[in-house]
Structure 1
Amino acid sequence: MANLKEVKERIKSVSSTQQITRAMKMVAAAKLRRAQDKIIQLRPYSEKLSAILANVSAGNSDESMTTYAQEREVKNVLIVPVTSDRGLCGAFNSNINKALNVVVKAHEGATIHVMPIGKKAFDMSKKQKFTNVTAYWDMFSKLSFETAREAAEFAMNGYEEGRYDKVVLIYNEFKNVATQIIRSEQLLPIVQTEQDSAASTSGTDYIFEPSKDFIVEDLIPKSLKIQFYKAILDSNASEHGARMTAMGKATDNAGDLLKELKLMYNRTRQAAITKEILEIVGGAEALAADK
């Protein structure tokens, strides 16, 4: 059984750890509120923009109207994994790494280019033999639409110029504090989803000025940039939710461990007292026997 000093030191250490995890949980909760507000405010705009784009492009059979919809033989793939800058957020970052490996395996034979966003993604990409684009990994240090737009434009220009034949986003979609959903979305070339198909057949009539093709050409780049920014905001909110959950569980576990250690401390102390009493009684009986 451990002595009293060792148990007391462990209790002090666990108590200090519990204070840290409780503080980190509170900080994550405060940051989560702001990040959650941002993504909730952006989603209606992003969904409406996608719906309008799907509607105005419906019935247009000219696939050459935009270079962003052109299908090519996939020889070069740009993957954009979005992680956090820091750890202590459960499986948040490791899940992105697993999803990245799945996407890489699905494009076996193609040249893989990785544009990491977040320090953890940057560290993971350095360990792999990929062609890395490292200009935007610290985006979360100055997160804004402008920084996300620059990264999106880099990917879009690379696709338009033929340097990349496919662009894939990997990120955590924010559902709630305890739930984050891993998404692997094809940003380029543009693919029409079931939701877009439903929007395109909604029957809404639009008056186009100056022309339908001009509006679509203007909406597509804007929609892609908003989609990219939405993935960044989703990941940011998911990170704080994951860290809040992880630190909450760590705080609870520390509390359970403290209960066990205090019980051990009391038992050890009681055993030491009992031992001292037995020694005193034994000594007294020995003295009495000598007389």
Structure 2
Amino acid sequence: MASLKEIKTRIASVNSTRKITSAMKMVASSKLHHAQVAIQNMLPYENLLEHILKSFLASTPEAQTIFEESHKEIRRVALVVYSSNSSLCGGFNSNILKMMEQAIHEYQEKGITELIVYPIGRKVAEKIAKLQIPSGGDFLELAEKPNAHECAEISKKLTEAYARGEIDKVELIYHHFKSAGSQVLTRRQFLPIDLSTESIGAMNDRDLTSNIATAKAQEYLRKKAEKKQRQQEVTVPLNDNFIVEPDLATVMESLVPKLLNLMIYTALLDSNASEHAARMVAMQTATDNADDLLRDLSLQYNKSRQAAITSELLDIIGGTVNN
């Protein structure tokens, strides 16, 4: 059995660790709130752009763009993978890296060896360096500070390469933020883009009202999603005859790149919020485990102390009897 001094030292050590995890949980909670606000600020633009595209495409089914057209043969694939720059966020990074490796393995099995990864986050950059996969650039700062302009630059680079035939397919791998307690690992096709009216807006199912990860919150989110699905209506044309100025191709060339820019930026915001939510939950779990360990150590300390007192009393009583 450990001595009283050893138990006391262990209690002090666990207490110190608990203070750190508790502080990190509060910091992550604050950052999560800011990330949720960033998503909320982006939503009006996203909703309006999706509404315009849905209405336009529902009324003009013949509308097409080069970013919709699949290449006949897929030989070169790009993956945009989102991770964090730091650790202590549970399985956030490991899950992303597993899905990325799975995607790379699937393409290699199909004979596609020309792969390029755009690593948004240090963990992905380190992993592809080990795997010797070509990198599309350095985007470490973007993982810490989401920036719409830099996301638009990435989107522009990818779309131009796709239009020139240098890339045949692009996928996004990231955590889709649904709530503080639910981040869904997502592998989403970026190019060629799916412009069906059913697909546009399908990812807008976030609950940004709370940063508390509890079972009740999860149940509330599930019921809310079911209710929203029941109430969802099929988009109908606003007008049978749109007058398009200057022409249909020009309008599509303007709207579709904006949607692609938004997809890169939205995935980054989702990943950023998911990272902070995962870290908050991980630190809360660590704090709870520290509390349990402190209770066990305190009980062990009290038992050992009582046993020591009892032993001393027995020695005193035994000595008195002998005398």
What is the TM-score when the length of structure 1 is the normalising length? Answer: 0.90
In the alignment, the residues of structure 1 paired with residue 235 and residue 306 of structure 2 have an alpha-carbon distance, to the nearest angstrom, of 78
The 3 A distance-change label for structure 1 pair 150 and 217 is: same
How far residue 254 of structure 1 moved from its aligned partner, in angstroms, is 0.7
- Residue deviations 1:152-196 (CA, integer Å, cap 9, x gap): 222222222222111100111111111001111111111234334
Structure-2 residue corresponding to 1:247? 283
Task: Give the 5 Å matches for 1:214-225.
Answer: 214-225=250-261
In the alignment, the residues of structure 2 paired with residue 199 and residue 74 of structure 1 have an alpha-carbon distance, to the nearest angstrom, of 36
How far residue 201 of structure 1 moved from its aligned partner, in angstroms, is 5.4
Structure-1 residue corresponding to 2:52? 52
Structure-2 residue corresponding to 1:226? 262
In the alignment, the residues of structure 1 paired with residue 41 and residue 194 of structure 2 have an alpha-carbon distance, to the nearest angstrom, of 25
Task: Kindly indicate whether the alpha-carbon contact (under 8 Å) linking 2:83 and 2:143 is maintained by their aligned counterparts in 1.
Answer: no
In the alignment, the residues of structure 2 paired with residue 77 and residue 195 of structure 1 have an alpha-carbon distance, to the nearest angstrom, of 22
In the alignment, the residues of structure 2 paired with residue 41 and residue 120 of structure 1 have an alpha-carbon distance, to the nearest angstrom, of 28
The 3 A distance-change label for structure 1 pair 199 and 146 is: farther
In the alignment, the residues of structure 1 paired with residue 63 and residue 145 of structure 2 have an alpha-carbon distance, to the nearest angstrom, of 40
Task: Give the 5 Å matches for 1:166-185.
Answer: 166-185=169-188
In the alignment, the residues of structure 1 paired with residue 81 and residue 261 of structure 2 have an alpha-carbon distance, to the nearest angstrom, of 16
Structure-2 residue corresponding to 1:80? 80
How far residue 62 of structure 1 moved from its aligned partner, in angstroms, is 6.6
What SS class does the counterpart of residue 114 from structure 1 fall into? strand
Task: Kindly indicate whether the alpha-carbon contact (under 8 Å) linking 1:43 and 1:230 is maintained by their aligned counterparts in 2.
Answer: no
Alignment of 1:276 onto 2:280? no
Task: Give the 5 Å matches for 1:66-145.
Answer: 66-72=65-71, 73-108=73-108, 109-110=111-112, 111-145=114-148
Amino acid at match of 1:43: L
In the alignment, the residues of structure 1 paired with residue 85 and residue 261 of structure 2 have an alpha-carbon distance, to the nearest angstrom, of 22
In the alignment, the residues of structure 2 paired with residue 199 and residue 215 of structure 1 have an alpha-carbon distance, to the nearest angstrom, of 26
In the alignment, the residues of structure 2 paired with residue 231 and residue 196 of structure 1 have an alpha-carbon distance, to the nearest angstrom, of 14
How far residue 200 of structure 1 moved from its aligned partner, in angstroms, is 9.0
Task: State the identity %.
Answer: 41
How far residue 272 of structure 1 moved from its aligned partner, in angstroms, is 1.5
What SS class does the counterpart of residue 171 from structure 1 fall into? strand
Alignment of 1:204 onto 2:238? yes
- Residue deviations 1:185-231 (CA, integer Å, cap 9, x gap): 11111123433499995112344222222111111111100111000
In the alignment, the residues of structure 2 paired with residue 285 and residue 207 of structure 1 have an alpha-carbon distance, to the nearest angstrom, of 111
How far residue 124 of structure 1 moved from its aligned partner, in angstroms, is 1.9
Task: Kindly indicate whether the alpha-carbon contact (under 8 Å) linking 1:69 and 1:190 is maintained by their aligned counterparts in 2.
Answer: yes
Question: Which protein is bigger by CA-based radius of gyration?
Answer: 1
What SS class does the counterpart of residue 258 from structure 1 fall into? helix
In the alignment, the residues of structure 2 paired with residue 201 and residue 236 of structure 1 have an alpha-carbon distance, to the nearest angstrom, of 31
Tell which deviates more after alignment, 118-127 or 200-209. Answer: 200-209
What is the TM-score when the length of structure 2 is the normalising length? Answer: 0.82
Amino acid at match of 1:13: S
**Aligned pairs, how many?**
285
In the alignment, the residues of structure 1 paired with residue 48 and residue 234 of structure 2 have an alpha-carbon distance, to the nearest angstrom, of 12
Tell which deviates more after alignment, 9-18 or 274-283. Answer: 274-283
Tell which deviates more after alignment, 88-97 or 150-159. Answer: 150-159
The unaligned stretches of length 5 or more in structure 2 are 202-231
The 3 A distance-change label for structure 1 pair 42 and 180 is: same
